[in-house]
């Protein structure tokens, strides 16, 4: 296996980090050589642009279809879950934007002078035009022009329409699923080249910008982990408000959280996470519905980071974050987070979707890709923790009883335990 995939013996995140370090070194020691590496980064940027629109269209359509299908077929608990996930998503976006507005980590990296001419940002907001531009008069033209907002709008409508068709939608869903699988494979190929692109772009930036970009990245990492700490405090308040002991809950799910942190994969911790929740008294029928939905649609740590990263890069390129731009970030981040859950390097792809919408050059991705592994560890762990809070809160809102004492207290009495019984409030 190693001989067939020799180039993958070094994990991709390590390759990305090496690309960042070597890029800084080459840019500092050989600036004239580094200045000639820009075309390599440009080729990577073009490849990212190539996959963004088909990825957005297929992933968002299927994601919205799945959400609509789940809400229609799985009853009150799933409907409450999806409603909570949406609220938590928007709230996490605002936390990320607020942290960026407070600390402005991207201002130290002034990349505006080095950027190619991009989208012109209006000095005033025409809200009528903004909303009208979301409705595509020609969806093919919107796709070919890389205009993501109308593509997102059409994908959401198509996903909802397919969910309403029931079994009649299956042929088209199968086609879209196969197309998305192919796009995922292309995405995987493109992302596998990212260490080379990171090396080229960082070398070029370091040769032209010096240490400012690197110092801004260090600040971004610090602000992101501060944001995760803010989310933890909010989760503790929510748990306390619904009668749970935050310290005890944290102790009981420490293993899946640490596993997610170490592996940078929420999915790797899913079986252990579900086992722990059942031991905490969560009915298996509830855990098996809410938790998989949460892993796909409730990624508060990642979503907070998406908003923070976009704000960071907008500041670095001196793009003003006016109300028009902020609303675009909220809308596209909300949808991108639902469509990129299972995408290879989905965090980078989701950020690329938002950057395209607000006019930030996509080559900016290389700036944060080098430290993405450090960022991914924390946000993945918070994603797992946030879904524990989601399960607890949804049970409270849906009036679902625990099957056994949870967190050292006596919950409301459940119905007699049965291997096939449906917990009260689930239907």
Task: Note the pLDDT tens digit of each residue in 90-120.
Answer: 999 999 999 999 999 988 776 665 555 444 4
The whole-angstrom distance between residue 161's C-alpha and the CA centroid of its chain comes to: 25
> Highest-confidence range of 39-48, 125-134, 207-216, 405-414, by mean pLDDT?
39-48
Averaged pLDDT, 81-88: 89
CA distance 209 to 207: 6
Q: Give the pTM.
A: 0.72
pLDDT at site 122: 42
Residue-wise pLDDT for 328-375, tens only, equals 888 888 777 665 555 556 677 778 878 877 878 877 777 787 778 778
pLDDT at site 414: 41
Percent of the chain with pLDDT over 90: 24
Look-up of token digits 């642009």: 49
| Residue 128: pLDDT over 60 | yes
Residue 305 and residue 227 in contact, taking contact as beta carbons nearer than 8 Å: yes
Residue-wise pLDDT for 163-193, tens only, equals 888 889 999 999 999 998 898 888 888 888 8
| Residue 162: pLDDT over 70 | yes
pLDDT at site 418: 41
pLDDT at site 192: 86
Name all domains of the chain by residue range, CATH numbers in brackets: 11-398 (1.10.3860)
Long-range CB contact pairs, 321-326, < 8 A, 24+: 321/97, 321/100, 321/101, 322/121, 322/122, 322/125, 323/125, 324/121, 324/122, 324/125, 324/127, 324/130, 325/121, 325/358, 326/97
Give 131 or 169, the one with higher predicted confidence.
169
């Amino acid at each position: 296996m190693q001989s067939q995939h020799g180039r993958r013996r070094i994990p991709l995140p390590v390759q990305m980090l090496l690309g960042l370090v070597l890029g800084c070194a080459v840019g500092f020691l050989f600036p004239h050589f580094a200045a000639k590496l820009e075309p390599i980064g440009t080729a990577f940027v073009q490849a990212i642009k190539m996959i963004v629109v088909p990825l957005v269209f297929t992933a968002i359509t299927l994601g919205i279809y799945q959400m609509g299908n789940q809400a229609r077929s799985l009853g009150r608990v799933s409907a409450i879950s999806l409603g909570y996930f949406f609220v938590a998503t928007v709230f996490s976006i605002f936390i990320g934007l607020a942290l960026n507005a407070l600390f402005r980590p991207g201002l130290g990296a002034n990349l505006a002078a080095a950027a190619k001419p991009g989208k012109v940002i209006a000095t005033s907001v025409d809200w009528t035009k903004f909303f009208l531009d979301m409705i595509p008069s020609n969806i093919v033209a919107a796709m070919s022009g890389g205009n993501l907002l109308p593509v997102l709008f059409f994908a959401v409508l198509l996903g909802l329409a397919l969910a309403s068709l029931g079994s009649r939608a299956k042929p088209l869903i199968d086609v879209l699923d196969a197309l998305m699988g192919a796009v995922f494979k292309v995405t995987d190929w493109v992302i596998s080249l990212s260490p080379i692109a990171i090396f080229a772009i960082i070398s070029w930036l370091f040769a032209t910008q010096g240490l400012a970009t690197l110092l801004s990245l260090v600040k971004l990492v610090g602000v992101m982990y501060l944001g995760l700490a803010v989310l933890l405090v909010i989760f503790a308040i929510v748990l306390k408000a619904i009668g749970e002991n935050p310290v005890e809950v944290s102790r009981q799910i420490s293993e899946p959280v640490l596993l997610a942190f170490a592996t940078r994969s929420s999915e790797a911790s899913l079986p252990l996470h579900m086992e722990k929740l059942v031991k905490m008294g969560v009915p298996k029928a509830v855990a098996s519905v809410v938790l998989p939905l949460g892993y796909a649609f409730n990624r508060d740590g990642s979503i907070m980071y998406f908003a923070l990263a976009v704000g960071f890069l907008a500041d670095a390129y001196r793009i003003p974050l006016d109300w028009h731009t902020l609303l675009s970030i909220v809308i596209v981040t909300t949808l991108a987070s639902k469509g990129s859950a299972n995408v290879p390097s989905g965090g980078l792809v989701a950020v690329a979707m938002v950057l395209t919408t607000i006019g930030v050059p996509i080559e900016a991705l290389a700036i944060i890709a080098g430290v993405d592994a450090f960022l991914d560890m924390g946000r993945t762990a918070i994603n797992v923790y946030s879904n524990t809070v989601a399960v607890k809160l949804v049970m409270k809102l849906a009036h679902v009883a625990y099957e056994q004492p949870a967190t050292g207290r006596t919950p409301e009495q459940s119905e007699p335990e049965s291997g096939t019984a449906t917990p009260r409030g689930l239907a």
